[in-house]
Amino acid sequence: MRLLPVVLALGLGLATFSTSVSGQRADDQIAPLSLSYQARGEALTTQGQYPAAIDALETALVVDPRNRGAYRALARVAAAQGLYGKAIKLYGEVLAIEPNDLEALAGQGDAMVQRGAVERARANLDRIRKLCATGCGPAVRLSSSIAKGPPPSVVTAQAAPATVSPATAPAKPQ
């Protein structure tokens, strides 16, 4: 009789725990609503409607934050707008979810090349080649991007010495 309340409390706790665990989705299942917003965002991206595409893709991520495809699509939108730093960050989000995502590694490497970080892009290429023994599409795309090199504006900016004219130099404290 003295153990009856303890046994009932444990039984109730166990029943509550088991029903909450059985209602969870597997890690590789993405919510269907998130996938539909992702498809809408990708369609808007192909039409060049970037603000609407960003809205749809961000909504897909609100519905299911594990949707790697939505992160990849957002990164492609950022790259199409010339926001390569943002694209690198978004591809990093994909790689945080799945470290061996070949498309994300290639996309991030391409964005790195556009920013002038060719050595980091080569590290991504080496990683892709380790994951994909035969010549796969992401490795071919990234190697051609590396061979082409960064845009001339980035090369010029990296080669120019940092000079400060006397008019814009900060005043020395006296």
- The larger pLDDT score, comparing residue 131 to residue 161, is at 131
Closest CA to 127 of 111, 149, 105: 105
* Res 1: pLDDT: 62
pLDDT digits (tens, 9 = 90+) for 24-73: 555 568 999 999 999 999 999 999 999 999 999 999 999 999 999 999 99
Q: Find where tokens 């120019």 sit.
A: 160
Which residues 6+ apart lie within 8 Å of 2 measured at CB? none
pTM of the model: 0.73
The residue ranking higher by pLDDT, 134 or 66, is: 66
At residue 96 the predicted structure's pLDDT band, cuts being 50, 70 and 90, is very high
Tell the burial category of 150 from Cβ atoms under 10 Å away from its Cβ (0-12, 13-18, 19+): buried
Domains of the chain: 31-154 (1.25.40.10)
Neighbouring residues of 71: CB distance < 8 A, sequence distance ≥ 6: 61, 90, 91, 93, 94, 97, 104
Q: What is the CA radius of gyration of the chain?
A: 24
